[in-house]
Amino acid sequence: MAKTVVIDEEACSGCGTCAAIAEDCFALNEESEKAYVTDQSACSEDDIQEAIDTCPEEAISWQE
């Protein structure tokens, strides 16, 4: 089963670190000021994992 990257919008502070690391996968919603996944397949798992590891709120995770 493939892993899916998910963002806990309640925990997300909207800092933009994930979008800076993996700009093809993550973006910030201007209205909610929260991050969201744009296209998981546009980035390598390593880039996504770096975004997960760097998120200061630990709001990004893998879901199987």
Closest C-alpha to 59, from 16, 10, 2, 19: 10
The tens digit of pLDDT for each residue in 15-63 reads 999 999 999 999 999 999 999 999 999 999 999 999 999 999 999 999 9
For residues 53 and 60, give the distance between their C-alpha atoms in angstroms, rounded to a whole number: 8
Contact 56, 13 (CB under 8 A): yes
Contacts of 38 (CB under 8 A, 6+ apart): 24, 25, 26, 27
Report all structural domains of the chain as residue ranges with CATH numbers, in order of start: 4-63 (3.30.70.20)
Q: pTM for the complete prediction? A: 0.92
